[in-house]
């Protein structure tokens, strides 16, 4: 515990008033200039097209994958989405249907609440990777975070990271359940445990993604990168559907982390409705491809 406490003390702290002021300044400075095809295409290329519904079936997921395949054929001049994100039981369906070179992402490890045994989390992660997932999205144990059981969180995340093997691990903070300092601590614990991305929320509870959480997470990603030389990605997810909302996160990433983060290896959106709205902006007319 002393080691973890020592690590946490090495990072900057934040208060919500200052964070909100910084976000306002960033959006005033950057948002108008960011509107345009370049930003919209970048956002499109960073979307994890997502279906995480109780009523998902192999047929419905197969149809979603076919839309991704068809998009690549119909719009070869545009980037396709970054990944398709589904429940573990649907990974095999995606793998068997997918012809485009996009990633297969699976939620796992007791998603969306993370309230199960670590053995179950590790097993589910391993099975999803075995079925073909190249990215795993899991939820950090929020209950343990609130109880300040930081060592347990790190040990659990490291076990899950090991189960990912070559797959990338995205750790969801469920930031709507946390205050600014808890978001700070969760971000540090996830990155120090080997996360490839830190992600705002599951979208299964409100509030979901917020620009406040995004700003704090991006500041910590930058600080972590400066300390270690390792770049961790940022994923905004939960309720982001419009172009204007997506541009807010784009501007925060651009300002805090720089242009090198504005690509799918380091920046993602978890969304289902956003793709068609962004495509409509690019095409200049209502367009539905996904």
Instruction: Point out the residues that are catalytic.
Output: 137, 199, 235
- In 3D, which of 161, 202, 121, 86 has the Cα closest to residue 95? 86
Cis, peptide link before residue 19, omega less than 30° from 0: no
- In whole angstroms, what is the distance from residue 13 CA to residue 220 CA? 9
* Strand intervals (E) in the chain: 47-50, 83-86, 103-107, 135-139, 168-172, 197-199, 233-237, 267-271
Number of neighbours of residue 66 by Cβ within 10 angstroms: 13
Is residue 209 within a helix (H) or strand (E), and if so which, with residue range? none
Question: 199, 171 in Cβ contact below 8 A?
Answer: yes
- In whole angstroms, what is the distance from residue 55 CA to residue 212 CA? 32
Residue 51 makes CB contacts below 8 A (sequence gap 6+) with 60, 61, 64, 85, 86, 90, 272
- In 3D, which of 270, 205, 200, 197 has the Cα closest to residue 240? 270
Looking up tokens 């956002």, which residue turns up?
43
């Amino acid at each position: 515990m002393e080691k973890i406490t020592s690590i946490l003390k090495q990072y900057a702290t934040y208060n919500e008033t200052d964070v909100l002021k910084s976000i306002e300044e960033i959006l005033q400075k950057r948002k108008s200039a960011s509107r345009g095809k370049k930003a919209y295409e970048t956002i499109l290329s960073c979307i994890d097209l997502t279906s995480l519904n109780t009523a998902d079936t192999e047929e419905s997921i197969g149809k979603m994958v076919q839309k991704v395949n068809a998009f690549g054929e119909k719009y070869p001049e545009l980037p396709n989405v970054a990944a398709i994100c589904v429940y573990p039981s649907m990974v095999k369906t995606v793998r068997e249907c997918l012809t485009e070179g996009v990633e297969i992402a699976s939620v796992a490890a007791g998603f969306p609440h993370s309230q199960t045994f670590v053995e179950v989390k590790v097993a589910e992660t391993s099975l999803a990777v075995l079925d073909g997932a190249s990215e795993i999205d899991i939820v950090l144990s929020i209950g343990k975070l609130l109880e300040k059981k930081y060592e347990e969180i790190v040990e659990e995340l490291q076990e899950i990271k090991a189960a990912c093997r070559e797959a990338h691990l995205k750790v969801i903070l469920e930031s709507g359940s946390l205050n600014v300092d808890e978001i700070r601590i969760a971000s540090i614990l996830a990155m120090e445990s080997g996360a490839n991305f830190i992600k705002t929320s599951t979208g299964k509870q409100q509030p979901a993604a917020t620009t406040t959480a995004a700003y704090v997470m991006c500041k910590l990603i930058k600080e972590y990168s400066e300390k270690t030389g390792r770049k961790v990605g940022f994923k905004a997810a939960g309720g982001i559907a419009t172009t204007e909302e997506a541009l807010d996160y784009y501007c925060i990433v651009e300002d805090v982390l720089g242009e090198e983060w504005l690509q799918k290896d380091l920046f993602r959106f978890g969304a289902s409705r956003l793709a068609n709205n962004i495509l409509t902006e690019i095409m200049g007319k209502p367009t539905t491809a996904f």
